A = this chain, B = another copy of it.
């Protein structure tokens, strides 16, 4: 798949550490799907976590990229 192939490429480039790309993909999707479910279903007023979609995307992406870089 697209994301997995990208991760594999970046590992070969030496930018990302060795980790099963599919685990990374699952993490990536998990962050966003879970956050969306929170917002759409049970926390529509964002009482648990008040954050814009832009900020959420940036924070999630930063955690993930920092988490897999070398």
Show the binding face of A for B, using Cβ within 8 Å.
Answer: 19-20, 22-27, 29-35, 38, 48-49, 51, 56, 59-60, 62-69
User: Which residue in B56, B65, B66 is a CB contact (below 8 Å) of A23?
Assistant: B56
Q: Give the Cβ gap from A63 to chain B, nearest Cβ, in Å.
A: 4
A19 near B67 (CB under 8 angstroms)?
A: no
Nearest residue (CB) in B for A21 is: B49
CB contacts (< 8 Å) of A27 on chain B: these are 31, 60, 63
Q: Are B59 and A63 in contact (CB under 8 A)?
A: no
Please tell me which one of the listed residues B19, B22, B30, B67 contacts residue A30 in the complex, with CB atoms under 8 A apart: B30
B residues near A63, Cβ cutoff 8 Å: 19, 23-24, 27, 63-64, 67-68
